[in-house]
Every structure is written in structure tokens, then in C-alpha cells.
Chains A and B, each alone.
Chain A
Amino acid sequence: MDDPLVIGDRQYSSRLIMGTGGAANLAVLERALTASGTELTTVSIRRVDTQGGTGVLEVLERLGIDPLPNTAGCRTAGEAVLTARLAREALGTSWVKLEVVADDRTLLPDPVELLEAAATLVDDGFTVLPYTNDDPVLALRLEELGCAAVMPLGSPIGTGLGIRNPHNIELIVKRAGVPVILDAGIGTASDAALAMELGCSGVMLATAVTRATDPEAMASAMRHGVTAGRLAHGAGRVPQRFWAQASSPPR
């Protein structure tokens, strides 16, 4: 595998992690996931509708995509830990995208609850991928607790505002010993490319694709954006200059 994304004991050739929320229906979702090239995709854990399954796991299974359960909707460490343990039973995976949000209007991570939940789940043998603020100190603390990756937000979930503090993302990347996955706030392909140019190891997104006018086309755009950003990051960009510098010989 050329230039794989390595998280915990797994390797992925795709650096794009997808979410499944917001898609109009499963057929649209399936086409978008296929176009994105993703190999790891989040699902949420909710009460069973006794009318039958939701079908999302069957879609992932058919496409050969690993499910990554999240703890979306949890407000406290206790709720998130219980949800992660239920997800482990339901899906047979000890991987969890840990989300503990503070309130409904911002959906920003609650750092106090997040750290407590992360510590408990790491001790319980989970591979923990925490959704975190774009706070370099908090990211480091999560890594020190034993998280397998850190997932700082670009901007609040679902806003499509892109990366509001690129310098913080760079600070997180420069000090991280685990993969940094830019999560939340991606609006379009250039945002995904920027995340990778800043040195992130991957990008996680859902809304930008599932609620786009053409989800399949946007999924393809995101795939190429991530690839382009990754290549650019490794290619050694030219320094930015104030004055022009001719690229053609003078005569």
C-alpha cells in the first residue's frame, strides 16, 4: 500500500473518513461512499425501530467499508462510555469516534467530559478517536491519555465554514505523535485540500457531501481534494513573496 493512513493497528489507502448522516436515502449514500473511495465510515447508535434495521450497516458491508461507531448526541462522559460499550456489542468493534458535545447550538466538544470519557475508554481497551476542539493543548492531552488519533474541528459541525484557525491545526500537527484527522466544518473540496496541506493525516466529513446538491460528484471532489492536498504537503511548496518574481527568462 502506497502512503497508507495508519491508525492503531490498521492501515487504510484512503485518507478520507466519511459520515453517513444527512443522506436523502441509502441509494444516494451508497453512490456517494463509492465515489469518495473511503474505507472507514461513521455510524451512530440509536434505539432500534422494531419495524426493522436501518440498512446502513448492510451498505457498508457491501462496499467493504469498516464501520466506525460514534457517540454523537452524548453530553456527558458517562453517556459516551455507555454508548461506546453498546456500539462494541452491536458492531463487534472496539474502535470508537468519541464525541461529547456541550450544547445543541454549537455542538462544540466539552473538553472536561471528553478527557474523562477518553481515559475510561482507553483503559477499557478501546481504540479511541476523539472529536476535539482545535486546541493544541487539549489535543496533546488526548494523545497522552492513549488516544489512537485526534480529530480537531475545522469549524462547528454542519456549518461548512471550513478551517477557521489554520494556525492551530498546524500547531496540533507539529506536536502530534498520532494521526491528526481534520473533522467537522468542511464545506467544499478546497477545505479538504487545505487540511491536508496543513499536514493533517486525513479528513472526516459528512454534511459537505450528503447535503450537497450532487452528493456523488462532491464525494469525488473530496476524494481528489484530499489526494491533492496530501501530494502538495509532501511536495515542498514555494515560499510566499511580496513582490513578483518572473518565471520566464528576461530575454
Chain B
Amino acid sequence: MNVRVNGTEREVPDGATVTELLAALGVAAKGVAVAVDGQVVVRTEHDTKVVPDDADVEVLTAVQGG
């Protein structure tokens, strides 16, 4: 299936969870937050939340600022 991660099209296996998506992206889960279609996915649900086909996924972390 195809999803958009931070605005870029990606192909991921059907039924991938948030945890599997982060692994596929090579992103460590520590210090990272994920939103799927504008909804925050809390950390405890990363293992179970399935990313739907055609989802808009945002993966964010802390950067220098303020």
C-alpha cells in the first residue's frame, strides 16, 4: 500500500503498524511522535495501530528552536 510520510509517498507492506513503519523508515522510536491522518498515535499504541492505505503520516522529533 502507499502512504505519505512527512509529505513523501512511500510504499509499505499492507497492514503495517506504526512500529513497523518506523522500523522501515529507519527511525528510532525514542524521542519521536507520530500522527496518522492528523491524529496523534500515543506511544502505547504504536505496536497495534495499523496504518491505513493512503494515510497521511507525520513523524516528528525535537530540533533546535525557541
- Where the two chains meet, the residues of A that have a C-beta atom closer than 8 Å to any C-beta of B are 19-23, 29, 42-48, 50, 53-54, 56-57, 67-70, 72, 82, 85-91, 97, 99, 206
Most-contacted residue by chain A among B32, B34, B43, B63 (CB, 10 A): B63
- Where the two chains meet, the residues of B that have a C-beta atom closer than 8 Å to any C-beta of A are 6-7, 25-28, 31-35, 38, 40-43, 58-66
Collect the chain A residues with CB atoms within 8 Å of residue B59's CB: 47-48
Collect the chain A residues with CB atoms within 8 Å of residue B64's CB: 20-23, 29, 43-44, 54, 56
In the complex, the chain B residue whose C-beta lies closest to that of A47 is B6
Check B65–A19 contact: CB distance below 8 A: yes
* Chain A proximity of B66: nearest CB distance (Å): 3
Check B65–A72 contact: CB distance below 8 A: yes
Check B65–A48 contact: CB distance below 8 A: no
The CA-CA distance from A88 to B34 in the complex, in Å, is 11
Q: Which of B25, B26, B33, B66 contacts A86 (CB 8 A)?
A: B33
Extra pairs beyond A44-B63, A72-B66 (10, CB < 8 Å): A22-B64, A42-B65, A44-B65, A44-B66, A46-B63, A48-B6, A53-B31, A56-B63, A56-B64, A57-B31
Most-contacted residue by chain B among A53, A91, A97, A99 (CB, 10 A): A53
